[in-house]
Amino acid sequence: MAAVTTSRIGSILKLSLSSGPVNALSPPLITALANEIAAANTPKSGVTGILLASAAPKVFSAGLDLTQLSVSPSSKNNRESVSKYIGSFQNLVHALAGSHVPTAAVVHGACPAGGTVLAFCTDYKVASSIQRSYFCMGLNETRVGLAPPLWLHALARNNLNSARIADRLVQLGYLCSSPQESLQHGYLDAVIADATPEALEAHAIEQLNQLAAIPWNARVQAKLGARKEMLSLLENGNTDEMVDCILGDEFQSVTAQLMASLKKK
Amino acid sequence: MAAVTTSRIGSILKLSLSSGPVNALSPPLITALANEIAAANTPKSGVTGILLASAAPKVFSAGLDLTQLSVSPSSKNNRESVSKYIGSFQNLVHALAGSHVPTAAVVHGACPAGGTVLAFCTDYKVASSIQRSYFCMGLNETRVGLAPPLWLHALARNNLNSARIADRLVQLGYLCSSPQESLQHGYLDAVIADATPEALEAHAIEQLNQLAAIPWNARVQAKLGARKEMLSLLENGNTDEMVDCILGDEFQSVTAQLMASLKKK
Amino acid sequence: MAAVTTSRIGSILKLSLSSGPVNALSPPLITALANEIAAANTPKSGVTGILLASAAPKVFSAGLDLTQLSVSPSSKNNRESVSKYIGSFQNLVHALAGSHVPTAAVVHGACPAGGTVLAFCTDYKVASSIQRSYFCMGLNETRVGLAPPLWLHALARNNLNSARIADRLVQLGYLCSSPQESLQHGYLDAVIADATPEALEAHAIEQLNQLAAIPWNARVQAKLGARKEMLSLLENGNTDEMVDCILGDEFQSVTAQLMASLKKK
């Protein structure tokens, strides 16, 4: 099964993450997403909106793939491979946040860390009010020992309700436990009462169509202008900020414990 | 009739836009406003506050003067003339946003695009809660194919409730249809319940007086410091960002259709 | 009596301002605070949180020490001494805002100007809902003729609910008169209903413990990253922005009147 399942709903391109049990951002998933976004990124593609969803019932995406980040003796990873992986992730973030085609994310289930990063890169992020025990959303990077790079601070400030909330909740590695709480802080743009997955998708497509009705160049320039600081921080292609932290003792130690506890489950 | 009607209410200088049916920002209106603001811009002027209002019953200002922006064969405009016009508009924005004298805007009616820009440059923008069918407020530039320049993004972030709202609503070219909605997003600082135009003006003057009571230099430096990024983006005198967009096919095509539909009315 | 009374509550270091009747930021108070923060600023110190409080019943801190800022003929101050004093204050602000140890402020009473600056530098600022006549909180610098330097604008934007509120309320030199109003604008992170001083302290310590539970390096980098702009503005060690304003006629005149009225009381 492909890491991303694609389908078309009229001129909308739906990208359903379908990689393993929790949609960890594995190299094939990152490559597939990046390729789809790049191919759609022009009016000639005929794609007028990208809908990001998940094929997993309880998870949007669990974020970065820990197996790519561990440099324990039992792994094949080294600085070069970690840097290559992080570079591909950052390129995906840049491509999604700067997509010329309007984008939206439908968040059903768990959406921690890198999952929230993907949602934050879109133009509209929405969930149903139906509470599910497995729902979570937030930037919990610090809890696993990962310091947010500067572009992630900028992305958080661009989405959350205030610079203060971004500072406080990113430091705390806070995860919202309900769609309503996510909406309240700005993790989501809207929560639709009692919406089924189908109703939610229809709502998101309506929003994408509203954006697609705006003159193309003006809309694209408006988007890139509003996100200039964040996009610029990604444009130097520098991965050292994240890689230095990942290779440090703190992250390796926290990750080793986390992976051991996940294996037990 | 002058493009701006001036009057004094004690030490308050009231500037009423009175240019044509919709207060489009014609060259004479821009010049008159800029001259009045420059003349008042020192304690020696005796002016302790500038009240920006409209002499038109249903319109604050319709924004940029489309006849200055069309470069169709039937117009006399070219890159040089468009650049001169945009330069004069940007200079007005800089002068109003950086005015040493406290400023306020009373918004009664339609206030799209450049109308909202003027209001956003003041220190206090207020409307009555009385709903009028013709009320609108917002930065709808993208809808007419005009990409907001970087200074306009900074101005939007300085006024609207969050960076997210600025990104989203500027991309959408969104117009609020009521004073209450404008207040909710930060387009206005206050909405006064059932206020008549006279009551609204009195309220705005009270706010101007509060600002005028603050020691002059400290207040001016506080204002310029808070708006430094936005003012800096205007200080290079560069009009290319807006002019390149205006001369592009997309804007010219959308504007031609808009002007044709306005002529029919 | 020392300018700062220190005590330990488990691994929490409590710093109670106890300098004169109103905790003006006298040179000994600044030195004592800076020394305590520096000594705690490493995991080796064993300190897992700093609780900033006041030993005065009605005042958190009245802010800068006016006797250090007057250059009237009757004072011994000159540009050099004022610059030295401001430099020590700015270094304290940098050390507190960039503290590697989590910090919190418990605000009971009057907390104008420099008092609010200290609270804004912490990771959590809280008050009880019990209203006291002497409560105040805000950046009223402009009212005494002091223009906020750029780092203070950045600090205000980092704490208050929006850039607009920061621009408007800093220009006005606005003081909130209740904890509830302070919370509403973002001057405080929380107001605890009917909390006694002891309950408030326990609440703040709980918050400090939540922060201390996050992996150290990731949390510190997250904090420094979110505050990078503000901290950078302080790192050049330049005091001219504040000193030029303090030595100006406006500030000296307002301060002379203020000190004369305080002496009469």
The answer to the question of residue B251 being in a domain is: yes
| Touching A: B residues 94-153, CB under 8 Å | 141-150, 153
Kindly list the residues from chain A whose CB atom is less than 8 angstroms away from the CB atom of residue C223. 167, 171
Structure tokens at C243: 């000193």
Kindly list the residues from chain B whose CB atom is less than 8 angstroms away from the CB atom of residue A221. 147-148, 245
3-class DSSP state of C258: helix
For the cut 70, the answer to whether the pLDDT of residue C1 exceeds it is no
Which residues, given as ranges, of chain B have pLDDT below 50?
A: none
Total domains in chain A come to 1
Measured in degrees and rounded to the nearest 5, phi and psi for residue A14 equal -95, 125
The answer to the question of residue B105 being in a domain is: yes
Tens of pLDDT along C93-116?
Answer: 999 999 999 999 999 899 999 999
Mean pLDDT of A73-98: 97
Q: Rounded CA gap, C240 and B256, in Å?
A: 53
Residue A237: domain span: 4-259
Give Cα C264 to chain centroid, integer Å. Answer: 27
Could you tell me the CATH number of the domain that includes residue A166? Answer: 3.90.226.10
A238: left (phi over 0), alpha (psi -120 to 50) or beta: beta
Min Cα–Cα distance to chain C from B93, Å: 17
**Residue B55 · residue B17 · CB < 8 Å:** yes
Residue position matching structure tokens 């150290």: C216
The answer to the question of residue B146 being in a domain is: yes
The answer to the question of residue B69 being in a domain is: yes
For the cut 80, the answer to whether the pLDDT of residue C87 exceeds it is yes
The answer to the question of residue B131 being in a domain is: yes
Min Cα–Cα distance to chain C from A163, Å: 5
Report how far apart the first and last C-alpha atoms of chain A are (Å, whole number): 24
For the cut 80, the answer to whether the pLDDT of residue A46 exceeds it is yes
Q: What is the DSSP letter of C192?
A: E
Please state, as a whole number, how many other Cβ atoms lie within 10 Å of the Cβ of residue C198: 8
What is the per-residue pLDDT for B1?
67
| Touching C: B residues 200-229, CB under 8 Å | 210-211, 214-223, 225-228
Q: Which chains sit next to B, with 3 or more Cβ pairs under 8 A?
A: A, C
The answer to the question of residue B249 being in a domain is: yes
Q: Rounded CA gap, B32 and A226, in Å?
A: 32
> Given an 8 Å threshold on Cβ–Cβ distance, is A222 in contact with B163?
no
ipTM: 0.96
Mean pLDDT of C155-175: 98
Could you give the residue ranges of the DSSP H alpha helices within C98-235? 114-121, 150-159, 163-172, 179-185, 197-212, 216-226, 228-235
Kindly list the residues from chain A whose CB atom is less than 8 angstroms away from the CB atom of residue B168. 123-124, 189
**Residue A3 · residue A65 · CB < 8 Å:** no
The answer to the question of residue C81 being in a domain is: yes
Identify which of B123, B186, B220 has the shortest CB distance to residue C162. Answer: B186
For the cut 70, the answer to whether the pLDDT of residue C123 exceeds it is yes
What is the per-residue pLDDT for A265?
66
Mean pLDDT of A45-59: 96
What is the per-residue pLDDT for C184?
98
For the cut 80, the answer to whether the pLDDT of residue A239 exceeds it is yes
For the cut 70, the answer to whether the pLDDT of residue A1 exceeds it is no
Cα dihedral B47, B50, B56, B61, rounded to 10, equals 140
Q: Rounded CA gap, B123 and B214, in Å?
A: 14
Q: Rounded CA gap, A222 and B254, in Å?
A: 17
> Given an 8 Å threshold on Cβ–Cβ distance, is B218 in contact with C250?
yes
The answer to the question of residue A265 being in a domain is: no
Q: How many CB pairs under 8 A join B and C?
A: 78
pLDDT: which is higher, A260 or C160:
C160
pTM (2 decimals)?
0.97
Mean pLDDT of C168-184: 98
